[in-house]
């Protein structure tokens, strides 16, 4: 069965974006971007919310045609365009770029999606992650901690009554100081 993998960049103090949605503090250099490409290339699909999808769709479809794009940026443009995408939105009416719109996170539908053949599914976005966590649907957490404190903003994890037991599967330090913490679920967890 395919896994659902939450993969997010966070500040050391736990925020995915600043109070005005800023992500300019993300330290994504060629080494880190190449790592992201390597991880995402093998995925079976991207699962995002509307806001994240619209941000991605506003940049990635043509990023490789920009002469200032570095090799890893240009490479990811192709990965993003070709990858099947599911966007969870109650308001989005249509979209392009190999994307299916789903209105809500329904456990039966997500379990059927996980049972399909293919690579694991990359989950992005704090709000969507919270919905998946409420239903106990995340199998692995890849948290990229950036060496910066931003003070306030949107936290990666919302308050919850759930206990999710995890096992450290990997750590990796990148040259720019970003640290990957990769955790896999253990069996003894209790939904909130």
Angle among Cα 180, 32, 151 to the nearest 5 degrees reads 60
Mean pLDDT value across residues 170-177: 98
User: What would the pLDDT profile of 122-155 be if each residue is shown by its tens digit?
Assistant: 999 889 999 999 999 999 999 999 999 999 999 9
The pTM assigned to this predicted structure is 0.91
Q: What local confidence, expressed as pLDDT, does residue 40 receive? A: 96
Please, which residues have CB within 8 angstroms of residue 3's CB and are 6 or more apart in sequence? Answer: 114, 120, 121, 139, 140
User: What would the pLDDT profile of 157-172 be if each residue is shown by its tens digit?
Assistant: 988 888 889 999 999 9
Q: What local confidence, expressed as pLDDT, does residue 149 receive? A: 98
Q: Is 49 helix (H, G, I), strand (E, B) or coil?
A: strand
**Domains of the chain from N-terminus onward:** 4-185 (3.40.430.10)
Q: What local confidence, expressed as pLDDT, does residue 61 receive? A: 82
Q: Is the pLDDT of residue 58 over 90?
A: no
Q: What local confidence, expressed as pLDDT, does residue 10 receive? A: 97
Q: What local confidence, expressed as pLDDT, does residue 191 receive? A: 52
C-alpha 28/C-alpha 179 separation (Å) is 12
Please, which residues have CB within 8 angstroms of residue 59's CB and are 6 or more apart in sequence? Answer: none
* Contacts made by residues 93-100, CB under 8 angstroms, sequence distance 24+: 95/53, 95/57, 96/57, 96/61, 97/57, 97/61, 99/53, 99/57
Q: What local confidence, expressed as pLDDT, does residue 94 receive? A: 87
- What is the four-CA torsion angle of 14, 106, 116, 88, rounded to 10 degrees? -60
Q: What local confidence, expressed as pLDDT, does residue 160 receive? A: 83
Q: What local confidence, expressed as pLDDT, does residue 188 receive? A: 53
Q: Is the pLDDT of residue 190 over 60?
A: no
User: What would the pLDDT profile of 7-54 be if each residue is shown by its tens digit?
Assistant: 999 999 999 999 998 999 999 999 999 999 999 999 999 999 988 888
């Amino acid at each position: 069965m395919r896994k659902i993998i939450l993969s997010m960049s966070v500040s050391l103090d736990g925020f995915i974006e600043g109070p005005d949605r800023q992500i300019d503090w993300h330290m994504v250099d060629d080494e880190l971007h190449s790592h992201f490409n390597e991880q995402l290339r093998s995925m079976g699909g991207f699962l995002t919310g509307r806001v994240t999808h619209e941000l991605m769709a506003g940049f990635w479809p043509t990023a490789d045609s920009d002469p200032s794009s570095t090799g890893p940026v240009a490479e990811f443009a192709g990965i993003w365009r070709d990858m099947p995408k599911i966007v969870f939105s109650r308001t989005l009416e249509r979209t392009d770029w190999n994307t299916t719109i789903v209105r809500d996170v329904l456990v039966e539908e997500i379990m059927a999606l996980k049972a399909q053949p293919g690579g694991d599914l990359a989950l992005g976005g704090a709000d969507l992650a919270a919905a998946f966590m409420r239903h106990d649907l995340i199998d692995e957490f890849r948290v990229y901690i950036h060496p910066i404190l931003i003070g306030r903003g949107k936290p990666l994890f919302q308050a919850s009554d759930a206990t999710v037991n995890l096992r450290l599967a990997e750590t990796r330090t990148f040259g720019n100081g970003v640290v990957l913490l990769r955790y896999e679920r253990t069996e003894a967890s209790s939904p909130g």
